[in-house]
Amino acid sequence: MQLSTRTAFLIASAVGATAALPILAKAGPAPTPSFQAEKCYGVALAGKNDCGATGSHSCAGESKRTGDPKSWIYVPSGTCQKINGGSLTPKA
């Protein structure tokens, strides 16, 4: 009976680790793009942000609302302030 308990534990551990991989892989900011980019706050769709300002959240895809003033996406340099609602700094 001891062997089957150990086997069940190992299987449960493997399943748990496999389920956690997508969550762990998503954690953290988006990689810096290959083009000249700037962070543009306040224009990302909900769940489509590249990262967020300190205190709101810190990971890509975690924005709960569209236009979150503390969430940002990478845009080509010089375009953020041309976008309605875009800001180069987090908004209060």
DSSP conformation class of 88: S
pLDDT of residue 36: 95
pLDDT tens, residue order, the chain (92 aa): 456 776 666 666 666 656 555 554 555 777 788 899 999 999 999 988 888 876 767 688 888 889 999 899 999 999 999 999 999 999 87
β-strand pairing of 37-41 with 51-52:
unpaired
**Stated pTM of the model:** 0.64
